[in-house]
Amino acid sequence: MEACNCVEPQWPADELLMKYQYISDFFIALAYFSIPLELIYFVKKSAVFPYRWVLVQFGAFIVLCGATHLINLWTFSMHSKTVAIVMTTAKVLTAVVSCATALMLVHIIPDLLSVKTRELFLKNKAAELDREMGLIRTQEETGRHVRMLTHEIRSTLDRHTILKTTLVELGRTLALEECALWMPTRTGLELQLSYTLRQQNPVGYTVPIHLPVINQVFSSNRALKISPNSPVARMRPLAGKHMPGEVVAVRVPLLHLSNFQINDWPELSTKRYALMVLMLPSDSARQWHVHELELVEVVADQVAVALSHAAILEESMRARDLLMEQNIALDLARREAETAIRARNDFLAVMNHEMRTPMHAIIALSSLLQETELTPEQRLMVETILKSSHLLATLINDVLDLSRLEDGSLQLEIATFNLHSVFREVHNLIKPVASVKKLSVSLNLAADLPVQAVGDEKRLMQIVLNVVGNAVKFSKEGSISITAFVAKSESLRDFRAPEFFPVQSDNHFYLRVQVKDSGSGINQQDIPKLFTKFAQTQSLATRNSGGSGLGLAICKRFVNLMEGHIWIESEGPGKGCTAIFIVKLGFAERSNESKLPFVTKVQANHVQTNFPGLKVLVMDDNGVSRSVTKGLLVHLGCDVTTVSSIDEFLHVISQEHKVVFMDVCMPGIDGYELAARIHEKFTKRHERPVLVALTGNIDKMTKENCMRVGMDGVILKPVSVDKMRSVLSELLEHRVLFEAM
Amino acid sequence: MEVGQMQRRWVDYTKSLFLEGILDGQFLQLQQLQDESNPDFVVEVVSLFFEDSEKLLNDLTRALEQPSVDFKRVDAHVHQFKGSSSSIGAQRVKNACIAFRNFCEEQNTDGCVRCVQQVKQEYYLVKNKLETLFAMEQQIVAAGGSIPILELSF
């Protein structure tokens, strides 16, 4: 046999086994060749695959393996050496590549695995985020609901609307079966069902407030789940086999205005709460979620605030109505008072006149009658009439005076009068009356008492007369002494009159008059009453003496008007009393005495009105000479108007002005031109005022100019009074004067 | 001091003013215009004069300080001042003004400046004297007397 380089197969060809091997090899090769193809195909399809070159490696590995198996097919039968070599090469290559790949895979597989874990991790995260998103969305919705609810609740200030709206909106938002509000009763011991969602007119269910479940809810500011069987949740009779839904209750604080302290808000000191009960639909298997509870709590707070606003509003409306009512009432009262005052004043005014007139007639005629021939009885009767009518007249005067005094409308008539003569006159008036009662009256006027004084003579006399008259009236025997002197500071202060603070000044002095009598005296406790109107001490003696009791009251008023004080001292009944008063009077002005042997003439300046009311217009731009000229003319009795410019002058000049004095040296003004214009204005000679130029120049040219423009006269400044007087008289007489230089 | 003495002092003072020529007859005229219906006439007019004069003197001084003196304006001011002072009876001031006006006509700046000083001097002198006089009058009135009337013959 020829030597062929054939290689013998390893073992003899067992037919069946060989066949199976052959077929398997074939298929293996096929598979090995197709795998990389698939890989390439799919990797090409996918966008991302980071390990491409690994793939190449792997592909190479597989291809070589496939090649190996393929070549193996030829080794089953007799094959040449080439085939064996190829086979060997293939195997070697395969070995290399596969080892390389194995080594590579050690690096790569952990990476691939970690990718997987990362993927898992990301999935978890995504799931978590989904969950959170769900939560946020729910919260957002809740917030929206709350806002919407709040808006609805706060959009009205009516309490009922607020509560009704709350229930309706809550019911809608949370899809409630029933929602109810229990308000505390007035007594505070029970909760009354006030508002419900479904039932329109809740019958007044009440529940005692101190149930444990209610206490539990009230003590927490959260919405709490309560049992559906508690009294507050059982509002309708349970029908059939309802599985009642879960119930939640929350407290609603009822805040008062006083709860809103500035620093701690709100201190729930009054602890009045209402109860809001919310029921989920029965048989729905729905549960209260946390966010729903939060919603309920927020709404409860908002309701509290809205209710308090409504309460405040109600309060203020009520207060306003009350104030308006009061206002109206006060207005009415004021108008009534005004009407009353007006009526009284009218009455007084009428009475003043109407009463005095007949009184006057009675007194006058009775006194006239007294002068005629009368029988003793008639005389007695007339005297009684006279006395009574005098009393009545005095009474009328007193009443009218007093009312005017009280009004404050009485004003003292201040004038200079003779002080000494006032006392003398009172003395003269009272002497006859006193002598009838066999009382002696002595008058002492201090040496430093001014003869003249300034004050209200009439009222002063009234005071003195009244006081002295009282002294005479209440004395049955003894003597009356009247002393008058100027009060010095020690005697001014009376410990009984702490509010009397006389102030010394140069223009005034205080007259102190003391009238001491030895009469019946007065009790210490009666003294204050003396000066009150119509009050009389009730002893018989005084009752008989008559008098209305107004006298001393009026005296006190007058004395007060004169900024003085009046009081009575007495040591008791039977010991006589002293009436003292102090009034403020002014010093009379001293007469002017200027004895000057040196001055030649002392004459009283009297206004010389030679030209009374003569209307004169003076135009001068120099303020000083203007006022001097004006003073001159005013001294002569003229009615002077002054102007300082041409415009003013033209504005003011009129036919009424008889004479015009104008300064023709005014700068920037041509006095002569002005004169010409005046001539134009007043064409008729008798309408035109007399024009006189005042100038400081005495030259001939000035005089000529003046004549030329039609001035009626020229006077040289400064002018004396006599000069002015003669000028004016000449002007008015002759209407022309050119000589006053 | 008693009223009579004060009045005598016043008379002497017034007489001295006239003798020195500070005041002239016009001032007497002003005094004559003062009466019960116008008790402060003299004081008012004199105060007005003081006010006016202050202003005028300021204007004059400023006008003369200008680099180029406007003699027309200066003359106008002096004219005013002359008028016022003669209305009051401030004789020396008036005379000073008359002299001033002459310099203005000549447009003599130095002369004018000198005159301004002169006028000021006279003005302040008469102002001083009049203020003293009025103070004395106030004292007399406060003591209860009255201002005597002077009749001086000229």
Query: ipTM, 2 decimals?
Result: 0.76
Token representation of residue B127:
């102002």
**Distances, alpha carbon A399 to alpha carbons A383, A442, A553, A667, B113, in Å:** 24, 31, 11, 73, 83
> pTM for this structure?
0.34
A603–B148 C-beta distance less than 8 A: no
CA A741 to chain centre: 73
- H helices present in A46-80, as ranges: 52-74
CATH code assigned at A462: 3.30.565.10
Q: How far apart are CA A312 and CA A460, in angstroms?
A: 64
Q: Which of A282, A298, A316 is the last residue of a domain?
A: A316
Instruction: Give domain status of residue B107, yes or no.
Output: yes
Instruction: Give domain status of residue A164, yes or no.
Output: yes
> For position A604, what pLDDT does the model report?
40
> How far away is chain A from the Cα of B82, in angstroms, using its nearest Cα?
9
Interface of B with A in 94-133 (CB under 8 A): none
Q: How far apart are CA A647 and CA A110, in angstroms?
A: 117
> Which residue segment(s) compose the domain that A424 sits in?
411-490+505-535+549-587
Instruction: Give domain status of residue B146, yes or no.
Output: no
Residue closest to A579 by CA, chosen among A691, A504, A474, A448: A474
Instruction: Give domain status of residue B147, yes or no.
Output: no
> For position A384, what pLDDT does the model report?
84
Token representation of residue A572:
């008791």
> For position A496, what pLDDT does the model report?
53
Q: How far apart are CA A512 and CA A494, in angstroms?
A: 12
B45 Cβ under 8 Å from any chain A Cβ: yes
Instruction: Give domain status of residue A58, yes or no.
Output: no
A528 Cβ under 8 Å from any chain B Cβ: no
The partner residue sitting opposite B45, judged by closest CB among A621, A631, A667, is A631
> For position A493, what pLDDT does the model report?
58
User: Quick check: A643 and A666 in contact, CB under 8 A?
Assistant: no
CATH code assigned at B85: 1.20.120.160
Q: Which stretches in chain B have pLDDT values below 50?
A: 154
Q: Which of A285, A301, A316 is the last residue of a domain?
A: A316
How many Cα atoms sit within 13 Å of A207 on the Cβ side? 21
Q: Which stretches in chain A have pLDDT values below 70?
A: 1-14, 47-50, 200-204, 235-242, 256-271, 402-410, 489-504, 532-550, 590-609, 665-669, 671, 683-687, 697-699, 734-741
Instruction: Give domain status of residue B17, yes or no.
Output: yes
User: Quick check: A577 and A526 in contact, CB under 8 A?
Assistant: no
Question: Is residue A528 located within the same domain as residue A458?
Answer: yes
Instruction: Give domain status of residue B37, yes or no.
Output: yes
Task: Tell me the per-residue pLDDT of A661-692, one tens digit each, with 9 for 90 and over.
Answer: 888 766 666 767 777 777 777 766 666 778 88
Residues whose CB falls within 8 Å of the CB of residue A390, separated by 6 or more in sequence, listed in order:
A363
> For position A572, what pLDDT does the model report?
77
Task: Tell me the per-residue pLDDT of A395-453, one tens digit each, with 9 for 90 and over.
Answer: 777 777 766 666 666 678 888 888 998 898 888 888 888 888 888 889 999 888 888 89
The DSSP letter of residue A256 is -
By three-state DSSP, how is residue A641 classified?
A: strand
> For position A607, what pLDDT does the model report?
40
CA angle, corner A154, sides to A151 and A156, nearest 5?
120
Interface of A with B in 591-650 (CB under 8 A): 592, 594-596, 598-603, 605-607, 621-625, 627-629, 631-632, 634-635
Question: Is residue A577 located within the same domain as residue A653?
Answer: no
Task: Tell me the per-residue pLDDT of B58-101, one tens digit each, with 9 for 90 and over.
Answer: 988 888 888 888 888 888 889 889 888 888 888 899 889 988 88
> Which residue segment(s) compose the domain that B86 sits in?
3-138
> How far away is chain B from the Cα of A645, in angstroms, using its nearest Cα?
15
* Run of H or E residues at A473: helix A457-473
Instruction: Give domain status of residue B123, yes or no.
Output: yes
Token representation of residue B58:
């300021």
CATH code assigned at A224: 3.30.450.40
By three-state DSSP, how is residue A579 classified?
A: strand
Number of compact structural domains in chain A: 3
Instruction: Give domain status of residue B36, yes or no.
Output: yes
